[in-house]
Chain A
Amino acid sequence: MDVMPKWADVVLVPVISLILAMVISALVILAIGEDPWAALKLMVQGSLGSTYGWGYTLYYATNFVFTGLAVSIAFHASMFNIGGEGQATLGGLGVALVCLAVPWPHWALALPAAMVGGMVFGAAWAAIPAYLAAKRGSHIVITTIMFNFIGAAVLNYMLVNVLRPTGSMDPATAKFPPGTNLPTLHEMLAPFGISFSKSAPANISFLIALLACFLLWLLIWRTRFGFELRAFGKSESGAIYAGIRPTKIIMGSMLISGALAGLMAINTVQGEAERLVLNSVEGAGFIGIAVALMGRSHPLGVLIAAILFGFLYQGGAELALWTTIPRELIVVIQGLVILFTGALDNMVRMPVEKVFLRLRRSNNGAGE
C-alpha cells in the first residue's frame, strides 16, 4: 500500500518544502539587515495590490507557465529538459522572423503565425538533443545544457550580424510592425467595463497559456500518446514490451517541450518588447524547472506555481525599487525552491511518511 494518501503527496509535501524555502529566504533578508515581514508586505502590495502589479505578475506567470509545462511534459517521459532557456531563445528568433517577414495587417493573423514560428524554432532546438538521446544514447541533460550556450551564440550572431537594422548599435531587431502588436489585458478588459492598468505588459498570451495548460492536461491523461508517454516515463522496458517505440516518445515529448518553451516568445518578444533583444528569456527557461517541480508536473500545479513565481518576480522587482534588497533575491528564492521541492524532496517526505505510518498503525490498533 502507499504510505501516504495522495493529497499529502501532491499538496502537503510541496507546501512544506515551499515554507522551508520561504523561512530560509526570510533569514537571508534578516541577515542582510532588512525586515522580512516588511519585505513580504511590500512584495504583496507591489505585485497583487494593484492592476498594475497584477499585470506584471501575470505577465511573468505567462512565461513560467510555458516553460513550466515544457519541463513537465518532458518529466513525464522521464526526460530532464534543462534546455528550455535555449529553446525559448530560439523561439524568440522564430517569432521575430515571422513578425518581421510580412507587414501584418492585424494581430489576429500575426499571432497564430508567430506562434507557429516560435513553436517550430523551439522544437527544432530541442530536436537535435532529442534525436541524439533517442538514437545515440547521449545524455539529454548535458546536450540540452550545451544547446543553451550554442543557442545564445546563435542569437547573438543573428542579432549582431544579420537582423540588426543598419546604423543601429544596439544588438536588437527593428521594431515589429504595429499589426503584430498583441492586445493587452487593458484593451481586452475595457469592453467589459473593467479598468486594468494600461502600462502593465500582461497580454492575450496569458489566455493562450491557460489554453496550453488545458490542452497539455488532455494530452497527458486523456490521449493514447499521453498514455504511452507516461508508460515510457515510468518504465522503458515496460514500454518496449507494450510496443511503444522509445524514439517516438523521446522525440515527441521533447518536440512538444521545445515548442512550449519557444511559445513563450509570443509573450515576451511579440507581446512586451515588440522587437527581439539579446536575453529576452531572462532565465525563464530555468525557472520552468522550479515551476514544474513545485507543480508536480501537473498542468494545474504548474499554473499555480507559475503565478507564485510571477508574484515573486514582480514582488522582487518592487523590493529592488524601494529597498536595498537587490533583485537577485528572487534568484536565491528560486534556487531554494528547486533545492527543497526537488533535490531535498526526501528530507521532507520521509518524516511526513513516518507520521502517516504511525497514524495508520495507531488507527489499526484501535480497530482491532
Chain B
Amino acid sequence: MDFSTLIQILDSTLRLATPLLLACLAGLFSERSGIFDIGLEAKMLVAAFFSAAFAYSTGSVWIGLLAGIAASMVFALIHGVASITFRGNQLISGVALNFLASGMTVLVAQSWFQQGGRTPSLIGGARFEPITLPFADAVRDVPFLGPLYSDLLSGHSILVYVALLAVPATWWVLYRTRFGLRLRAVGENPAAVDTAGVSVIGLRFAAIGIAGLLCGIAGAYLATGLQAGFVKDMTAGRGYIALAALIFAKWRPWYALGACLLFGLLQALSLRTDVVDAIFPFKMPVQLLDSLPYILTVVILAGFVGKAIPPRAGGTPYVKER
C-alpha cells in the first residue's frame, strides 16, 4: 500500500468518523447527565431526512441544517418528556424513537417527494461543499506533511471541522465550566444537585437538548455532506456504533475522538477490500471488519481491557426519596 492510498483511506476515515463523533458526543452529554440514549440513531435519521428535504426544497443547505437540527431536537424532547418528566424507561423510549424515526422518515418522504421514500439528489448549494484550507495548494508539494495537510486535513465540508472542534469544546464545557460540573454531578448523584438548589430536570433537559443539537448536525452531515440526499435507513446503525464508541471511550471526550476515528477507519477499510486483502496475509472476511466495532465494545464491556464504568445515576429516573 503506498502513501497516497494511505492518505485516501485516512481521508475517508475522517469523513466516516464525523457522524460517529458528533453522535458520540451527543450521547456523552446525555449519558453524563444520567439519561441513557439508545435513540441516537433516531435523531440522526430524522435530521438526515429533514435536512435533505429542506435543503432540496429551499436550495439552501444551511436551512436544511437548521431543519435537521430542529427535527432532532423534537425527538430529543420526546425522549426527555418520556424519561425525565414521566420517569419512563429510558431504554424503551430510545427503542420506540428508533422505530418512529425509521418509519416516519420514509412515510413523510414518500408523501412529500413520491420517490419511494427518498429525497431527490441534492446539487449545488443544497449540499455542503468541501472547503480548501488556507495554503492547501501551496504546501501540497512539501514531502509527507504536504499531502497530509492538503489532501487529508483540507478539503472537507465545514461540518467535519465542526465535529473535530466539538471535541475540545466538549472537554472544556465538561471540566472547566459551572454547567459541566453540574452536568457531571447530576449523572452521578442527582440528589446532590437537587439539594444544592439546582434543578435536576432543567440540567437533564439541557443535556438532552445538546444531544439533539449534535445529532442534528450529524444527521445533516450524512445527508448533505457525506452523501447527496436522504435514503431509507441511511444511518445504517451509526447511532449504535456511536454508542459503542461512547462506551469504548469510557464517556470521555478525547477518548471519544480516538474511538470514533478507530471505528471510522474500520468502516473505511471495509469499503476498500482491495486494501484489506493487501494488508492481511489471510482472507479477511469483510463481515468481520464490519462487526469489529461491536466485538471490541463487547470486549470492553466484559471488562477484559479496563473497566467501563458508566455514570452512576445513568438509566434511573430521579425520584425524590421519601
Contacts and interface: CB of A to CB of B under 8 A. Distances in A.
Interface in B85-105: 86-93, 95-104
Contact of B303 (A82, A138, A141, A338): A138
Given A139-B310, A339-B82, A28 B107 contact: yes
Interface string A126-144: 0011001000111101110
B96 A146 contact: no
B290 interface: yes
Interface centre among B99, B247, B290 (most CB of A within 10 A): B99
A336 B82 contact: no
B306 interface: no
B98 A324 contact: no
Contact of A149 (B82, B102, B237): B237
Nearest to B296: A146
B108 A32 contact: yes
B192 interface: no
Contact of B97 (A152, A157, A339): A339
B167 to A, nearest CB: 23
B86 to A, nearest CB: 4
B186 to A, nearest CB: 20
A44 interface: no
B219 interface: no
Interface residues of A, number: 51
B95 A289 contact: yes
Main secondary structure of the interface of A (DSSP, over half): helix
A156 B174 CA distance: 41
B103 A332 contact: yes
A343 B103 contact: no
Given A149-B240, A342-B88, A343-B88, A328 B294 contact: no
A142 B297 contact: yes
Nearest to A160: B287
A143 B302 CA distance: 9
A342 B291 contact: no
A338 B82 contact: no
B237 A328 contact: no
B131 interface: no
A170 B145 CA distance: 46
B103 A153 contact: no
Interface in B279-311: 285, 287-288, 290-291, 294-295, 297-298, 301-303, 310
B294 A150 contact: yes
B106 interface: yes
A343 B306 CA distance: 33
B91 A82 contact: yes
A112 interface: no
Contacts of A333: 103
Contact of B102 (A161, A328, A338): A328
A344 B82 contact: yes
Nearest to B283: A161
Main secondary structure of the interface of B (DSSP, over half): helix
Interface in A262-285: none
A335 B298 contact: no
Given A142-B301, A324-B110, A338-B99, A332 B104 contact: yes
A150 B38 contact: no
Nearest to B79: A343
B100 A332 contact: yes
Interface in A141-200: 141-143, 145-147, 149-150, 152-154, 156-157, 160-161
Nearest to B90: A343
Contact of B96 (A154, A336, A350): A336
Given A147-B298, A336-B100, A344 B287 contact: no
A96 B38 CA distance: 32
A149 B243 CA distance: 13
B110 A342 contact: no
Contact of A146 (B89, B97, B244, B287): B244
A284 to B, nearest CB: 13
Nearest to A337: B96
A146 B103 CA distance: 22
B187 interface: no
B19 interface: no
B83 A343 contact: yes
In the complex, the 7 A-B pairs of residues with the closest C-beta atoms, listed nearest first = A331-B103, A335-B99, A335-B100, A343-B93, A332-B103, A342-B92, A339-B96
10 contacts: A147-B294, A286-B99, A289-B95, A326-B106, A326-B107, A326-B110, A331-B103, A335-B100, A339-B97, A344-B88
Interface of B: 38, 78, 81-83, 86-93, 95-104, 106-108, 110-111, 117, 237, 240, 243-244, 247, 285, 287-288, 290-291, 294-295, 297-298, 301-303, 310
Given A145-B243, A154-B287, A328-B107, 9 more contacts: A128-B298, A138-B303, A142-B243, A149-B237, A153-B291, A331-B106, A332-B99, A335-B102, A338-B95
